[in-house]
Chains A and B, each alone.
Chain A
Amino acid sequence: MMRHFLQIDGHSTEELCHILDTAESFTSVDDRAVKKVPLLRGKTIVNLFFEPSTRTRTTFELAAKRLSADVLNINIATSATTKGESLLDTLFNLEAMNSDMFIVRHPESGAAEFMSNYVAPHVSIINAGDGRHAHPTQAMLDMFTIRKYAKDFSKIKVAIVGDILHSRVARSQIEALNLLGAREVRVIAPRTLLPANISQLGVEVFQTCKEGLRDVDVIIMLRLQKERMQGGFLPSEHEYFQLYGLTSERLAFAKPDAIVMHPGPINRGVEISSEVADGPQSVILQQVEYGIAVRMAILSIAMGSHDKSDRDI
């Protein structure tokens, strides 16, 4: 089973479904007087964030607390400790405090996997976003949201719009959608914001919204990552909105009941208009809400697995 959760790639369809089904059960925890289950009582989970984050960190923290685990939040400035050795030192020190799980966000691709190679056998690593590589828990909460609204993956067309090149979210979403058997996965982006290997990812590539959004069931907008835009990928934010921003007019190309998603934080007027972001087809805030249940599922499945492997030794 899965002791670590580092990326979508390498997991089976069954494992992804198991996560989604377990998350479904956790959604009922919110309905009750005590919004907690005792599953991870006595476990220590460390949120280890080398990059700023609000939504991801807080929903992981809430997820861990609703599972009755103790949570430690550690934010380390982006500039410090990006070299391998100091990263491991940080890790070993925290491990010495008998932590059971690390939730890691890091600006370098592969950081979470690197750490997973060095932690003790009773410790899990969950990737909360590493460089441009992967953000698997975000992808899973997106899949959960899609399944809530669209039900059957084999019938839906999904368009991912925007900065695919820099997006770890898009990469994980594409892998998850393909594993879960989505009928069609499209990406819509200017050529400068597409990775070179895009054709190998199992997607249809479109350069314009008019063609790409036609008859889709799900639209996923990506954030224009201003902090990663020094290389002259785009003439201007204004021009980007003119060509790729999701407006009511463009939304009309999709199916009438299409849902609009965004991993957040949204740049209003850059990749999405306020009218659409706050409109009836937007499920952006539901994504945040479902994020808690999905992360509860991933934390408990991972924790349950490593204890089991301990017993088998």
Chain B
Amino acid sequence: MTELNAQQLTENLAKDLKSYISEHKIVDPIFIGIQTGGVWIANQLQALLENKDKLGVLDITFYRDDFSRVGIQPTVKPSKLPLSVDNKHIILIDDVLHTGRTIRAALNEIFDYGRPASVTLVVLVQRNGKELPIQPDVVAKTLTLEVTQHIKLRGPNPLELEIIDQK
């Protein structure tokens, strides 16, 4: 199996994000991490890019499309976004992009806080299995996995990526 060094990947992601931000002339971006892995990555990206703003945190539990199947999970944490996202450039960060449903839920939640100027999607790993038309803008690693395989980020210190086979 491919060697996955989460720490190294996060550093690469920070570099790519930095050039993306300057290339697209994004001013005063707001970093938002999706619970739980996305928050870990977002914290590291902020540290690496020397961004001292308060990180926005999203818990998308209340926006999931599978609520009627799974109910409320005991791990739900409050979302904490800056007071207004109106006309702000958002850097939305998650650990793994798989079906795209989490990002769909996160976008819906962000829009209940206001109308951002733009949203840039940043993920550590993108894998196959997309079910919605959602692409990352900045991504450190793209993987092709078997249907039975899952990728999981452990953390926050140190960050470790693990591929779990449920065959």
On A, residues with C-beta under 8 Å from B are 1, 18, 21-22, 24-29, 31-34, 36-39, 297, 300-301, 304-305, 307-308, 311
Q: How far is the CA of A37 from the CA of B110 in the complex (A)?
A: 11
Residue in B72, B76, B77 whose Cβ sees the most chain A Cβ within 10 Å: B72
Q: Is the CB of B71 within 8 A of A308?
A: yes
A304-B70, A305-B71, A308-B70 given; A37·B62 CB < 8 A? yes
B20 at interface, CB cutoff 8 A = no
B residues 37-89 with Cβ under 8 Å of A? Answer: 59, 61-63, 67-72, 74, 76-81, 83-84
Chain A nearest CB from B91 CB (Å) reads 19
Residues of A close to B69: CB separation below 8 A: 307-308, 311
Q: How far is the CA of A297 from the CA of B73 in the complex (A)?
A: 11
Residues of B close to A18: CB separation below 8 A: 72, 74
Q: Is the CB of A25 within 8 A of B61?
A: yes
Q: Is the CB of A21 within 8 A of B80?
A: no
Closest-by-CB residue of B relative to A305 is B71
Grouping DSSP codes into helix (H, G, I), strand (E, B) and loop, the A interface class, with mixed when no group exceeds half, is helix
Identify B77's interface contact among A1, A25, A31, CB under 8 A.
Answer: A25
B108 at interface, CB cutoff 8 A = yes
A25-B59, A36-B112, A38-B62 given; A307·B78 CB < 8 A? no
Q: How far is the CA of A28 from the CA of B81 in the complex (A)?
A: 9
Q: Is the CB of A24 within 8 A of B78?
A: yes
Q: How far is the CA of A216 from the CA of B111 in the complex (A)?
A: 45
28 A–B contacts from the bound complex (CB under 8 Å): A18-B72, A21-B76, A25-B62, A25-B76, A25-B77, A25-B78, A27-B78, A28-B80, A31-B83, A32-B112, A32-B113, A32-B114, A33-B112, A33-B113, A37-B62, A37-B112, A38-B62, A38-B108, A39-B63, A39-B67, A300-B72, A304-B67, A304-B72, A307-B68, A307-B69, A307-B71, A308-B71, A311-B69
Q: Is the CB of B114 within 8 A of A33?
A: yes
Q: How far is the CA of A154 from the CA of B81 in the complex (A)?
A: 33
Residues of A close to B78: CB separation below 8 A: 24-25, 27-28
Given contacts A38-B63, A300-B67, A308-B69, list 19 more A-B pairs with CB under 8 A: A1-B71, A18-B72, A22-B76, A25-B59, A25-B77, A25-B78, A28-B78, A31-B83, A32-B113, A34-B112, A34-B113, A37-B63, A39-B62, A304-B67, A304-B68, A304-B72, A305-B71, A307-B71, A311-B69
Chain A nearest CB from B114 CB (Å) reads 5
Q: How far is the CA of A258 from the CA of B86 in the complex (A)?
A: 41
CB-based closest 4 A-B pairs: A304-B71, A37-B62, A34-B112, A28-B78
Q: How far is the CA of A143 from the CA of B63 in the complex (A)?
A: 27
Q: Is the CB of B71 within 8 A of A301?
A: yes
Closest-by-CB residue of A relative to B71 is A304
Identify B79's interface contact among A28, A297, A300, CB under 8 A.
Answer: A28
Residues of B close to A34: CB separation below 8 A: 111-113
Q: How far is the CA of A80 from the CA of B63 in the complex (A)?
A: 41
Residues of A close to B84: CB separation below 8 A: 33
Q: Is the CB of B76 within 8 A of A32?
A: no
Closest-by-CB residue of A relative to B111 is A34
Residues of A close to B109: CB separation below 8 A: 37
Residues of A close to B76: CB separation below 8 A: 21-22, 25
Q: How far is the CA of A25 from the CA of B77 in the complex (A)?
A: 6
Task: Give 1 or 0 for each of B120-148: 1 = CB within 8 Å of chain A CB.
Answer: 00000000000000000000000000000
Residues of B close to A304: CB separation below 8 A: 67-68, 70-72
Residues of A close to B61: CB separation below 8 A: 25
B residues 16-35 with Cβ under 8 Å of A? Answer: none
Residues of A close to B74: CB separation below 8 A: 18, 21
Q: How far is the CA of A18 from the CA of B77 in the complex (A)?
A: 11
Chain A nearest CB from B74 CB (Å) reads 5
Chain B nearest CB from A45 CB (Å) reads 15
Chain A nearest CB from B81 CB (Å) reads 7
Closest-by-CB residue of B relative to A296 is B62
